[in-house]
Chains A and B, each alone.
Chain A
Amino acid sequence: MRPLEVRHLGRVPYAQGLELQAGLVAERQAGRIPDTLLLLEHDPVFTLGRNARAENVLLPEAALKAQGFEVFETGRGGDVTYHGPGQVVGYPILDLSPDRCDVHRYVRDLEEVMIRTCADYDLQAGRVAGMSGAWIGEEKVGAIGVRIARWVTSHGFALNVANDLTPFGMIVPCGIRGRGVTSLERQLRRAVPLADVAARLARHLAAVFGRVVAG
């Protein structure tokens, strides 16, 4: 099985995360590094995917910035979302060739990773047809936004663990109206160590993608 290198990066500013990914994608395309999974937290930031519609950001950008949020437009799929401390963000830099060249399958697989992780905490997360992500009931616990270049992936998923959910109120997360967001801690009503969640995500990702965690 192919190796998967897992890097726990801790707190990373969004811009730095982008830069890091760009470098790794190039390296991965060139075959100089193995499949890699970055696990991290971001400073508070709103990011707009390629399909983001302006009306899904409910406050003017200036107002968001005034409150200490960064705003980024990024090259991932999906609409607008929020990242912040307490949310585990995973950026798999995987080469999907030759056997997983299917973007839908990739998205389903990322969902599976988050669903399995939730299950570790006895939370039954699932999918909602037509709306990517991991859902607990009517509420989204994990979001997905992906970029693929020559079947090498970047961006990825974000699982709400302990983060403040109020910033989601300033946007229409992923452009989906009428549904809320939730987090593991809100569901469990107890503290959940991020490191533990990150480790489980890594393990499940390796399992779902048939990779072996290196090192």
Chain B
Amino acid sequence: MTDVIMPQMGESIAEGTITKWMKKVGDRVQRDEPLFEISTDKVDAEIPAPASGVLKEIRVEPGATVPINTVVGVIGEGDAATVAPTAAPAASANAPAAVPPGSAAPPPKSAQPTSPSVAVAQADGTPAASAGTSVPAVTSAVAPSTPAPSAPAPAPAPAPASVAAPVPPAATPPPSPPPSTAAFTAPAAAASFASSLGSTLPAPASAAPAPTPAAARPPAATPPPAEKPRADMTPEELRQTRSSPVVRKIAAEHNVDISKVPGTGIAGRVTKQDILGHIETRPGSAAAAPSTPSPSPAPSAVPAPSAPSAPPASAAPAAPPSAPAPSPAASASASWAPAAPATPAVPPSAPSAPPASPDISATPTWSSKSGASAPRPASPPPAPPTPAPSAPAPAPSATPAAAPLAPPTPAAPSASAAAKPATATAAPAPATTPAPFVPSHQPGERVEIVPMLPIRKKTSEHMVMSKRISAHVTTVSEIDMSRVAHLRHKYKQQYEERSGVKLTYMPFIVKATVDALKAFPVLNASVDGDNIVYKKDLNLGIAVALDWGLIVPVLRNADEKNVLGLARAINDVAERARGKKLKIDEVQGGTFTITNPGVFGSLFGTPIINQPQVGILAVGTIEKRAVVRDDAIAIRTMCYLALSFDHRIVDGADADKFMAHLKKGLQEFDESAL
């Protein structure tokens, strides 16, 4: 006979409601087969049979709510094997039964459920685990503390007991990796980064520990235990921070300062139940956490290396590196909390720190490239004197979402002042190192702050990069488009009827441009170090304005197409660009670009080169204007074409000869190409 019991579906769950039995009394059941369903909160769970046999009894009917471990049914007879693999069947009665065999640990109370999680944490290589590596098993086993004496299943009594023993020693003189880890990751990174950027900025430093979202979490997760050497902690702090890895992991994930959570576990330790309860009940969720100062990052704790980024300024003390919270959600709100710069008064507790790291971790998350490449710690030497005052400030400034440290912030004038220069000095740094972002608005101001979409961010980066790389010069020619207008009018209907293609001016311009590029291949080239690379293919990028940004699909081998082919191709890519159906290789490999601001009425623009190309043509609006022809005023269809070229390899003469060629090609457009 095997008891079927109400399993515990989570540490904080004390009861469950049976919603449905999938079997009737007398039905045969296979072990692991869904037997009944229970419901808790927002979750429905299907519970498998603990053994094979015949369902003998249903003791709890659907709709009833019973405490966990209540026997809700009995499986008997059948294949005697019943409880088979789950050890100690007779011994600790219901426990094994409670464990849906297949699943590792649908916790039947006690320490057991948590242990597996420890294992996993380590397997994951997550910091939470590494932080506590030396003691995880211990703490986790103990922390839950809820263990019912009776419960423990296969590996019962001895486990908790034996495990519990080591705790005290571990707690006090821990050889603990935590402190060292933190000290290593955070300050080291800080220092090195600062130095690499010429000293000013601990700001990016705080970024350093978070090169990738994944990596970002680690440091964040680690800190709680690491923030302060054990020796410096009060017994109280010690107890509270010595929570299980699972708890620390959850805390880190949710940006919770464990030391602020009332612990109900052994010696005041924070149990998983405590932390989940805390998360659930705090109002603004993430918002709450950061503002609570952590008892941790005493500057003294992390000696030399961290020093520079830390105390001197006294304003926003030290802590950036050790900031616990990885949650971007947290960051947004956290940073708005008055906590940060406003609290110069509290040097040792460094409440300002938390926002820093989480924000950073947020950045790389959705800035496709920059974020990731940003933090590239170089050498460890701590940033020397100068940064002192500025140091603490920029830290939070690295935050994207957060608006806390806006220069104008009255709260921390000195700090923000320092932050600004930091930004400035960072700018000239290599392309891979985006300047730390100093938001310039405070919440509550009458502004709307909208994070950039990835496409916007990429465009932004690309534009600035291009301006820095190329020596832009723009030349403008006025084109008489009357002949093209005439041809377009003449063939428009025919195109539409025969091929279903709408004939615009664009294919004419592309055709003429292709011919001009053939004549002046230097405009179809690129720069590679000290070499000029002439491209044999003419792949024309056509900039398409979309509601959500700008994209430049490429017409490959544009020189092989006639006007009809070009018209088709242009319509096709533009349409697919709007429908987000372009394939990646359709926006790559362009050798020259045409953009068409004229559709919005612009006369001409001075476009930015699409790297690594060396030329881009902007088509101004095409309209009838009064011009002088044969000493008489005539009405002609006119248009300005503006060419931006890279003066590094294209001289003005080349560019203007190219334009002359293009002009001739359009004004005397070859009808046979149609």
Q: Is the CB of B276 within 8 A of A121?
A: no
Segment touching A, from B32-40, B160-168, B196-204, B533-541: B32-40
If the complex has contacts A99-B121, A105-B10, are A210 and B126 also in contact, measured as CB distance less than 8 A?
A: yes
Q: Report the minimal beta-carbon distance from B62 to chain A, rounded to whole angstroms.
A: 10
- Against B, the Cβ 8 Å flags (1 = close, 0 = not) of A35-55 are 000000000000001110000
Segment touching A, from B169-177, B283-291, B305-313, B634-642: B283-291
Which residue of B has the minimal Cβ distance to A212? Answer: B214
Q: Report the minimal beta-carbon distance from B486 to chain A, rounded to whole angstroms.
A: 41
- Against B, the Cβ 8 Å flags (1 = close, 0 = not) of A183-199 are 00000101001011000
Q: Report the minimal beta-carbon distance from B609 to chain A, rounded to whole angstroms.
A: 28
Chain A residues with CB under 8 Å of B19's CB are 50-51
Q: Is the CB of B276 within 8 A of A99?
A: no
Chain A residues with CB under 8 Å of B43's CB are 77, 103, 106-107, 146-148
Contact residues, B543-581 vs A (CB, 8 A): 548, 580
Contact residues, A45-91 vs B (CB, 8 A): 49-51, 75-78
- Against A, the Cβ 8 Å flags (1 = close, 0 = not) of B78-114 are 0000000000000000000000101111110000010
Question: A5 at interface (Cβ–Cβ under 8 A)?
Answer: no
Segment touching A, from B232-240, B326-334, B413-421, B596-604: B326-334
Give the distance in Å from the alpha carbon of A147 to the alpha carbon of B104 in the complex.
Answer: 18
Give the distance in Å from the alpha carbon of A132 to the alpha carbon of B217 in the complex.
Answer: 25
A-B pairs with beta carbons under 8 A, tally: 200
Chain A residues with CB under 8 Å of B39's CB are 50-51, 77
What band does the interface of chain A fall in when counting residues whose beta carbon is under 8 Å from B?
35 or more
Segment touching A, from B296-304, B445-453, B495-503: B445-453
Q: Report the minimal beta-carbon distance from B574 to chain A, rounded to whole angstroms.
A: 19
If the complex has contacts A120-B328, A129-B281, are A77 and B105 also in contact, measured as CB distance less than 8 A?
A: no
Which residue of A has the minimal Cβ distance to B365? Answer: A203
Give the distance in Å from the alpha carbon of A150 to the alpha carbon of B38 in the complex.
Answer: 12
Q: Is the CB of B580 within 8 A of A195?
A: yes
Give the distance in Å from the alpha carbon of A111 to the alpha carbon of B102 in the complex.
Answer: 27
Q: Is the CB of A1 within 8 A of B328?
A: no
Give the distance in Å from the alpha carbon of A149 to the alpha carbon of B124 in the complex.
Answer: 24
Segment touching A, from B246-254, B258-266, B504-512, B518-526: B246-254
Chain B residues with CB under 8 Å of A24's CB are none
If the complex has contacts A193-B548, A203-B366, A210-B124, are A150 and B42 also in contact, measured as CB distance less than 8 A?
A: no
Question: A98 at interface (Cβ–Cβ under 8 A)?
Answer: yes
Question: B213 at interface (Cβ–Cβ under 8 A)?
Answer: yes
Q: Is the CB of B48 within 8 A of A150?
A: yes
Q: Is the CB of A148 within 8 A of B46?
A: yes
Give the distance in Å from the alpha carbon of A120 to the alpha carbon of B330 in the complex.
Answer: 11
Q: Is the CB of A126 within 8 A of B366?
A: no
Which of B45, B282, B331 has most A Cβ within 10 Å?
B45
Question: B668 at interface (Cβ–Cβ under 8 A)?
Answer: no
- Against A, the Cβ 8 Å flags (1 = close, 0 = not) of B40-71 are 11111110100000000000000000000000
Q: Is the CB of B37 within 8 A of A207?
A: no
Question: B116 at interface (Cβ–Cβ under 8 A)?
Answer: yes
Chain B residues with CB under 8 Å of A200's CB are 366
Q: Is the CB of A122 within 8 A of B287?
A: no
Contact residues, B636-669 vs A (CB, 8 A): none
Give the distance in Å from the alpha carbon of A85 to the alpha carbon of B34 in the complex.
Answer: 34
Give the distance in Å from the alpha carbon of A200 to the alpha carbon of B451 in the complex.
Answer: 12
Chain A residues with CB under 8 Å of B12's CB are 102, 104
Q: Is the CB of B42 within 8 A of A118?
A: no
Interface SS of chain B: helix, strand, loop or mixed? mixed
Q: Is the CB of A149 within 8 A of B34?
A: yes
Q: Report the minimal beta-carbon distance from B17 to chain A, rounded to whole angstroms.
A: 8
Q: Report the minimal beta-carbon distance from B6 to chain A, rounded to whole angstroms.
A: 13
Q: Is the CB of A1 within 8 A of B44?
A: no
Chain B residues with CB under 8 Å of A111's CB are 285
- Chain B residue total in the interface (Cβ 8 A): 74
Question: B241 at interface (Cβ–Cβ under 8 A)?
Answer: no
Contact residues, A109-160 vs B (CB, 8 A): 109, 111-112, 115-116, 118-122, 124-130, 132, 144-151
Q: Is the CB of B40 within 8 A of A124?
A: no
Question: A100 at interface (Cβ–Cβ under 8 A)?
Answer: yes
Chain A residues with CB under 8 Å of B103's CB are 97-98, 101, 150-151
Chain B residues with CB under 8 Å of A129's CB are 280-281
Question: B405 at interface (Cβ–Cβ under 8 A)?
Answer: no
Give the distance in Å from the alpha carbon of A151 to the alpha carbon of B11 in the complex.
Answer: 14
Which residue of B has the minimal Cβ distance to A148? Answer: B45
Q: Is the CB of A101 within 8 A of B106?
A: yes
Give the distance in Å from the alpha carbon of A119 to the alpha carbon of B480 in the complex.
Answer: 53
Q: Is the CB of B41 within 8 A of A104?
A: yes
Question: B472 at interface (Cβ–Cβ under 8 A)?
Answer: no
Chain A residues with CB under 8 Å of B48's CB are 150
Q: Report the minimal beta-carbon distance from B10 to chain A, rounded to whole angstroms.
A: 4
Q: Is the CB of B120 within 8 A of A99?
A: yes
Question: A208 at interface (Cβ–Cβ under 8 A)?
Answer: yes
Which residue of A has the minimal Cβ distance to B253? Answer: A208
Q: Is the CB of B287 within 8 A of A103?
A: no
Give the distance in Å from the alpha carbon of A144 to the alpha carbon of B41 in the complex.
Answer: 10
Give the distance in Å from the alpha carbon of A59 to the alpha carbon of B78 in the complex.
Answer: 49
Question: A108 at interface (Cβ–Cβ under 8 A)?
Answer: yes
Question: B279 at interface (Cβ–Cβ under 8 A)?
Answer: yes
Q: Report the minimal beta-carbon distance from B283 to chain A, rounded to whole angstroms.
A: 6
Q: Is the CB of B548 within 8 A of A49?
A: no
Q: Report the minimal beta-carbon distance from A142 to chain B, rounded to whole angstroms.
A: 12
Q: Report the minimal beta-carbon distance from A98 to chain B, rounded to whole angstroms.
A: 4
Question: B13 at interface (Cβ–Cβ under 8 A)?
Answer: yes
Question: B272 at interface (Cβ–Cβ under 8 A)?
Answer: yes
Question: B192 at interface (Cβ–Cβ under 8 A)?
Answer: no
If the complex has contacts A99-B116, A144-B42, A193-B548, are A124 and B279 also in contact, measured as CB distance less than 8 A?
A: no
Question: B532 at interface (Cβ–Cβ under 8 A)?
Answer: no
Contact residues, A166-182 vs B (CB, 8 A): none
Which residue of B has the minimal Cβ distance to A76? Answer: B44
Give the distance in Å from the alpha carbon of A107 to the alpha carbon of B328 in the complex.
Answer: 19
Q: Told that A103-B45, A119-B362 touch, could you supply 12 new A-B pairs with CB distance under 8 A?
A: A50-B20, A77-B44, A97-B104, A99-B118, A101-B104, A101-B105, A104-B276, A107-B43, A127-B281, A148-B44, A204-B328, A208-B253
A-B contact pairs, 29 of them (CB 8 A): A1-B214, A50-B44, A75-B37, A77-B42, A97-B116, A98-B116, A99-B121, A102-B10, A103-B45, A104-B12, A107-B43, A108-B254, A115-B286, A116-B327, A119-B401, A120-B401, A120-B451, A125-B329, A127-B281, A130-B280, A144-B42, A146-B44, A149-B46, A150-B103, A196-B454, A204-B328, A207-B217, A207-B326, A210-B126
* A interface, CB within 8 angstroms of B: 1, 29, 49-51, 75-78, 97-109, 111-112, 115-116, 118-122, 124-130, 132, 144-151, 188, 190, 193, 195-196, 200, 203-204, 207-208, 210, 212
What 9 pairs between A and B have smallest CB-CB spacing? A98-B104, A99-B117, A102-B10, A99-B120, A149-B46, A119-B329, A98-B116, A126-B285, A116-B329
